[in-house]
Amino acid sequence: MSAGHDVRLLDVFKGQPKAVWITAFAAVIAFMGIGLVDPILLSIAEALNAGPEQVTLLFSSYLGVQVLAMLITGAFSARFGAKRTVVTGLVLIVIATLACAMAGSIGELVALRAVWGLGNAFFIATALSVIVGAASGGQGAAIMLYEAALGIGLSTGPLLGALLGNISWRGPFAGTAVLMAIALILSAGFLPKDGDRADRTKVRLLDPIRALRHGGLLRTSLGAALYTAAFFIVLAWSPFVLEFGAIAVGLVFFGWGLCVALAGVFLAPRLAGRLGEVGGTIFAVLIFAVLLGVMTFGSKPVVVVAVILSGLASGLLNTLFTGTAMSISDAPRPVASAGYNFLRWLGGAAAATLVGHVAQWFGSQHAPFAAGAILCVIAAGLLFAELRTQANTRSVPAEAALVGEEF
């Protein structure tokens, strides 16, 4: 088993086409945007006279628009081509990040983050299908490369946000704009040209929603939505619980992001090989629930350790959920990706919007962590139902074969 995994790990980084590396680099920068604002949340709140429930809207506006736009990315990509879709997304992100650096109020910043989310929607779902379609080593290697990009982006985003945010809260936005402009130039100049429209798979606007009629994809996507809600509770709320400076928060989430990257690339394939993709996902989401339980009752040093270790569970879950969603149904990859990402990020948008209110409703800063633990347990229940469905599906043909032998 380990040898097989060693080969797959080599395939992730060896002999990949130029288009894969360019898209992966752009993905790193795109995912940096998710955790970029984490270390500067307190600075933004102070500079723009905003409360925690307003500042966390920087996540919810970004994710909310991204969620809705996910529904049109498949149709847009089918009509205009993957390269045009990726470039359109990157252009929107560059414009939004530059404007964020010049925003004068929390309202402006929230609105501009929504434009950023629109650009990310065009980029993220398309980038995954581009990497899966172009990478050598098969779908497994491609997803591991994509999740490695996610982990690197999540780890370096908070670090960049801390370093530049220590100078000014505007610095991280300007720095991201520069990096995204580089990714835009590389994508526009070196990604393969889009083929004839006649050669592309026809995708209708509601196909991603129709794809969710598949029970396995729906259960996987709902489980991912609940997990992603818990994921963003950790990401958006931990800085308010820890009350550290930008550099300290950046270092905590740098360690967390490194754990995401390492677990997604090196540990997830081994766990899937031992327990299966769905079984491994159940194990990892329950571990995440336990860590959220620790955050609920722990002191600040304990919360720091639990946040960093939760990156291991997140790395496993990001890879395992994505791998399952891309292979569990017979829907085209861009359609399955759009439907899955729609529900997945919907969970994150809801959590980012409600997390501050949950703390107010229960009168405890740690209450959101308890809510996240409950969501993870529910996700495990959905996945267990999927595991039983798969077991029943496998047993039916076997029983039919035995009946056939008797007659």
Closest CA to 291 of 230, 354, 220: 230
In contact, 143 and 132? CB cutoff 8 Å: yes
Q: What kind of fold does domain 14-406 have according to CATH?
A: Growth Hormone; Chain: A; (1.20.1250)
Separation of alpha carbons 222 and 238, rounded Å: 24
The predicted pLDDT at position 4 comes to: 39
What residue ranges do the domains of the chain occupy? 14-406
Neighbouring CB atoms inside 10 A of 385's CB total: 13
Q: What share of the chain is helix, strand, coil (3-state, %, to 5)?
A: 85, 0, 15
The predicted pLDDT at position 249 comes to: 85
The predicted pLDDT at position 138 comes to: 65
Separation of alpha carbons 84 and 282, rounded Å: 37
The predicted pLDDT at position 88 comes to: 92
Neighbouring CB atoms inside 10 A of 395's CB total: 10
The predicted pLDDT at position 230 comes to: 96
The C-alpha R_g of the chain, in whole angstroms, comes to 21
Where do we find the tokens 């680099």? 25
The predicted pLDDT at position 62 comes to: 84
Neighbouring CB atoms inside 10 A of 135's CB total: 26
pTM, two decimal places: 0.80
The predicted pLDDT at position 139 comes to: 66
pLDDT < 70 stretches in the chain: 1-15, 125, 132, 135-140, 195-203, 334, 391-407
Q: Which two tokens stand for residue 334?
A: 């861009």
> CA 129: distance to chain centroid?
14
The predicted pLDDT at position 314 comes to: 94
The predicted pLDDT at position 378 comes to: 96
CA distances from 186 to 87, 89, 190 (A): 10, 14, 6
In contact, 266 and 144? CB cutoff 8 Å: no
The predicted pLDDT at position 200 comes to: 53
